[in-house]
């Protein structure tokens, strides 16, 4: 029964977290610009066009691509913001963080709208400059934000796992007391190790939370989340060892 | 007194007719009557029979199916150290670790993209007549890659 519950939980986790990773919709049909880029290249190499005609045609294509990119970026921002708002937590720190992130998404959408308003008046050089500044802004501001949403989604989901492990240790404690297993040296040592490893995992989990709250670089936060999960995984190895030791003492 | 004479008199003793009649009625009234097959009685009998058959079948299935009460009464099963439950919980952690790795790699790619110039997809640059369907199935550029090309 628990297997089914955890399979369901795992499937739910996948369903909740995976969309965040694919929110950068590089392959979403309306975010494909290969055809327009090919047209741009063809225009630039078309010797039949006069200089002015070529400039006009190129500028038109460039503006179309820029408008399409901004629409695509706004769509991505909406989708990722929806993923952010789907995160459910009773932790006031996390809810405050969600509020801050929502503000950043609103800033992003405003930025895109402002840039979109500039497109009509652009010349050829202006369109190139806008492309450069837009790219830098996305890399500097938007990608870190989406990665932070991904990290927050993962961290929030992990809290169920940490609670489950904590409950498990409480139950084990009760079992050891009830069956007077603490007198056995092996079991006592493994039990102490389980307690120590769970405390370590919990502390690392809090470090990852601190990363999120201070908007640390997303790679650092992701790394700390992974380290906390590795420590939690080690705790379960201890539980398995404890289970084996108890099995030897109480043959079933 | 002639004892034999007195004993012979007993032959002539008859019970009181009223007592005989009352006793006969009492005896006859204590004999159970034949049961009447009412619908209610038939229903009760059917339920009793059906329950007995069902219980017998269930017991037979449990025995043939390898049911063992010990499995459920085992203290190990009741304890918090059941390996199957531990395994399920550990697997949920492993899944999260894999997802975290994916997120970490995505963040790394985004950071690396800033430092490296975008690669221009060959197909996009050399296929001016590409159709919509071809474009949607070909290797596509990310927004940043397209912006990089527009900046040139």
Residue-wise pLDDT tens digits, A177-194: 988 889 999 999 999 999
Chain B interface, best mutation among A13, A32, A37, by max B CB count within 10 A = A37
More confident residue, A96 or B115: A96
Mean of pLDDT values over B114-124 = 52
Instruction: Work out the mean pLDDT of chain B and round it to a whole number.
Output: 73
CA atoms within 13 A on the CB side of B97: 14
Report the predicted TM-score, pTM, of the whole model to 2 decimal places: 0.69
Asked whether residue B145 is assigned to any structural domain, the reply reads yes
From residue B117, alpha-carbon distances to A27, B112, B113, B144, B151 in Å are 20, 10, 7, 10, 11
Asked whether residue B100 is assigned to any structural domain, the reply reads yes
Confidence at residue B116, expressed as pLDDT on a 0 to 100 scale? 64
Token pair, residue A186, equals 């092996």
A240 chain-B contacts, CB cut-off 8 A: 83, 86, 90
Q: pLDDT tier at B20 (50, 70, 90 boundaries)?
A: confident
Same-domain check for residues B74 and B87: no
CA atoms of A250 and A18, how far apart (whole Å): 43
Same-domain check for residues B107 and B84: yes
Shortest Cα–Cα distance, A228 to chain B (Å): 9
Confidence at residue A113, expressed as pLDDT on a 0 to 100 scale? 96
Confidence at residue A201, expressed as pLDDT on a 0 to 100 scale? 98
Confidence at residue A184, expressed as pLDDT on a 0 to 100 scale? 93
Same-domain check for residues B64 and B118: no
Task: Name the residue with tokens 């996009």.
Answer: B124
Same-domain check for residues B55 and B74: yes
Mean of pLDDT values over A22-27 = 44
CA atoms of A230 and A239, how far apart (whole Å): 14
Q: What is the DSSP letter of B121?
A: P
Same-domain check for residues B72 and B89: no
Same-domain check for residues B70 and B112: no
B150 chain-A contacts, CB cut-off 8 A: 62, 65-66, 127-128, 131
Q: pLDDT tier at B51 (50, 70, 90 boundaries)?
A: confident
Confidence at residue A230, expressed as pLDDT on a 0 to 100 scale? 97
Task: Name the residue with tokens 């459910």.
Answer: A88
Same-domain check for residues B122 and B68: no
A72 chain-B contacts, CB cut-off 8 A: 143
Long-range contacts of A241-245 (CB under 8 A, 24+ apart): A241/A190, A242/A172, A242/A187, A242/A190, A242/A191, A242/A194, A242/B81, A243/B81, A243/B82, A243/B83, A243/B86, A245/A184, A245/A186, A245/A187, A245/A190
Asked whether residue B24 is assigned to any structural domain, the reply reads no
Angle at A12 between CA A206 and CA A138, to 5 degrees: 65
More confident residue, A141 or B127: A141
Is the pLDDT at A20 greater than 60, yes or no? no
CA atoms of A175 and A247, how far apart (whole Å): 13
State the first-to-last Cα distance of chain A, in angstroms, to the nearest integer. Answer: 21
Asked whether residue B131 is assigned to any structural domain, the reply reads no
How many domains are contained in chain B?
2
Asked whether residue B19 is assigned to any structural domain, the reply reads no
Q: pLDDT tier at B10 (50, 70, 90 boundaries)?
A: confident
A117 burial type by CB count under 10 A (0-12 exposed, 13-18 middle, 19+ buried): exposed
Same-domain check for residues B59 and B44: yes
| Beta carbon pairs, A and B, within 8 Å | 207
Same-domain check for residues B104 and B146: yes
Residue span of the structural domain in which B64 resides: 39-79
Residue-wise pLDDT tens digits, A90-131: 999 999 999 999 999 999 999 999 999 999 999 999 999 999
Q: Strand locations in chain A, DSSP E?
A: none
Mean of pLDDT values over B46-59 = 85
Q: pLDDT tier at B115 (50, 70, 90 boundaries)?
A: low
Shortest Cα–Cα distance, B68 to chain A (Å): 13
Same-domain check for residues B90 and B150: yes
Please indicate whether, in this complex, the C-beta atoms of A34 and B140 are within 8 angstroms of each other. Answer: yes
Shortest Cα–Cα distance, B59 to chain A (Å): 24
Residue-wise pLDDT tens digits, A50-101: 888 888 999 999 999 999 999 999 999 999 999 999 999 999 999 999 999 9
Q: pLDDT tier at B74 (50, 70, 90 boundaries)?
A: low
Same-domain check for residues B52 and B118: no
Asked whether residue B9 is assigned to any structural domain, the reply reads no
CA atoms of B140 and A5, how far apart (whole Å): 39
Same-domain check for residues B143 and B118: yes
Asked whether residue B144 is assigned to any structural domain, the reply reads yes
Residue-wise pLDDT tens digits, A143-176: 999 999 999 999 999 999 999 999 999 999 998 9
Please indicate whether, in this complex, the C-beta atoms of A32 and B94 are within 8 angstroms of each other. Answer: no
Please indicate whether, in this complex, the C-beta atoms of A26 and B81 are within 8 angstroms of each other. Answer: no
């Amino acid at each position: 029964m628990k297997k089914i519950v955890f399979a369901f939980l795992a499937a739910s986790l996948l369903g909740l977290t995976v969309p965040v990773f694919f929110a950068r919709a590089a392959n979403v049909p309306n975010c494909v610009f290969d055809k327009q880029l090919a047209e741009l290249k063809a225009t630039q190499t078309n010797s039949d066009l006069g200089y002015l005609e070529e400039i006009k045609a190129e500028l038109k294509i460039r503006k179309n691509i820029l408008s399409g990119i901004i629409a695509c970026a706004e769509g991505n921002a909406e989708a990722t913001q929806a993923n952010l708002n789907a995160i459910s937590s009773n932790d006031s720190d996390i809810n405050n963080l969600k509020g801050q992130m929502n503000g950043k998404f609103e800033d992003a959408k405003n930025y895109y709208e402002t840039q979109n308003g500039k497109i009509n008046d652009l010349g050829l050089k202006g369109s190139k400059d806008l492309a450069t500044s837009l790219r830098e802004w996305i890399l500097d501001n938007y990608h870190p934000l989406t990665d932070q949403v991904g990290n927050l989604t993962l961290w929030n989901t992990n809290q169920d796992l940490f609670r489950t492990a904590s409950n498990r240790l409480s139950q084990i404690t009760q079992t050891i007391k009830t069956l007077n297993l603490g007198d056995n040296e092996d079991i006592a040592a493994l039990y102490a190790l389980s307690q120590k490893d769970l405390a370590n995992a919990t502390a690392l989990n809090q470090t990852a939370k601190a990363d999120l709250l201070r908007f640390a670089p997303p790679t650092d936060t992701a790394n700390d989340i992974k380290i906390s999960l590795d420590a939690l995984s080690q705790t379960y190895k201890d539980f398995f060892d404890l289970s084996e030791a108890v099995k030897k003492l109480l043959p079933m | 007194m002639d004892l034999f004479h007195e004993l012979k008199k007993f032959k002539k003793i008859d019970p009181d007719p009223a007592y005989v009649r009352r006793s006969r009625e009492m005896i006859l009234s204590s004999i159970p009557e034949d049961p009447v097959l009412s619908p209610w009685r038939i229903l009760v009998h059917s339920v009793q029979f059906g329950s007995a058959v069902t219980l017998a079948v269930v017991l037979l299935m449990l025995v043939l199916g390898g049911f063992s009460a010990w499995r459920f009464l085992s203290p190990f099963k009741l304890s918090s150290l059941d390996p199957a439950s531990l395994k399920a919980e550990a697997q949920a952690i492993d899944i999260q670790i894999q997802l975290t790795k994916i997120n970490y790699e995505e963040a790394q790619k985004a950071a690396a993209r800033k430092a490296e110039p975008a690669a221009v997809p060959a197909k996009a640059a050399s296929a001016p007549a590409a159709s919509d369907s071809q474009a949607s199935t070909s290797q596509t550029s990310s927004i940043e890659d397209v912006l990089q090309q527009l900046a040139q």
